[in-house]
Amino acid sequence: MGNNAHKNTDKDLEILELLAKNSRLTSAQIATLLDLTETEVEQTITRLENNGTILSYRTLINWDKVDKERVLAFIEVKVTPQRGVGFEAVAERIGRYPEVKNLYLVSGLFDLAVLVEGRTMKEVANFVATKLAPLEGVTATTTHFVLQTFKEEGVILSDGEKDRRLVVSP
């Protein structure tokens, strides 16, 4: 549990898990699945939106199917923590770049794991060289370009697991 987590009921969790898998479910549909009233579901969702639990409703896209140049890179960043603010000040500055999709503080041989998106390798390399590496507190970066995406957000992209059941069985 995060240090600023809210106390949630089982119903909150069930609604969140359903929405995490399919954000297009309507309140009426969720109400049916969970045996709640539509009003209860709507009130819960509004509360979870207002308290910052639900941040946005997205679509998971297989960008390999889209005719658009796109490059992803994982960048390991070593940071000298600053007195008083630890890693947060640097993380804050890195996170504000729109090129940065994901940003984590991690244990191990480096400190920040940064997922960067750009149109070309050159663009990403340029971002690292001119924006990320020179930041005060950053002592080293290692860039790993993504070659292929196999799984995203729990979904296997080239999933060959079809429904192989007989159409009618006893």
Partner 1 sequence: MSEATWTHKLNPTVLAIKPSAIRRFFDLAAETKGIISLGVGEPDFVTPWHVREACIFALEQGYTNYTPNSGLPELRREIVRYVAESYGVEYRPDCEVLVTVGVSEALDLALRAVVAPGDEVLIPEPCYVSYQPCTVLAGGVPVPVPSGIEEGFQARAEALARAITPRTKVLLLCFPNNPTGAVLPRRELEAIARLCQAHDLIVISDEIYAELTYEGEHTSIAALPGMRDRTIFLTGFSKAFAMTGWRIGYALGHADFIGAMTKIHQYTMLCAPVTAQMAALEALRNGREEMRRMVREFSYRRRLVVKAFADMGLPCFNPGGAFYAFPDIRSTGLSSEEFTERLIKEEKVAVVPGNAFGACGEGFVRCSYAASVDELNEAFKRMHRFVERYRAGRRAAVRS
Site residues, partner 1 (CB under 8 A): 18, 22, 25, 29, 32-35, 161, 163, 165-170
Residue (18 or 71) nearer to partner 1, CB: 18
Residue among 1 and 168 whose Cβ is closer to partner 1 = 168
How does DSSP assign 32-58, residue by residue?
Answer: HHHT--HHHHHHHHHHHHHTTSS----
Q: Which is nearer to partner 1, 26 or 102 (CB)?
A: 26
Q: Cα–Cα distance between 76 and 168 in angstroms, integer?
A: 52
Element (H, E) at 15: helix 10-21
User: Shortest approach of partner 1 to residue 159 CB, angstroms?
Assistant: 10
Structure tokens that stand for 83 in this block:
């007195």
Q: How far is the CB of 14 from partner 1 (least distance, A)?
A: 8
Nearer to partner 1, 68 or 164 (CB): 164
Please check whether residue 54 is in contact with residue 45, taking contact to mean a CB–CB distance below 8 angstroms: yes
CB of 156 to partner 1, least distance (A): 10
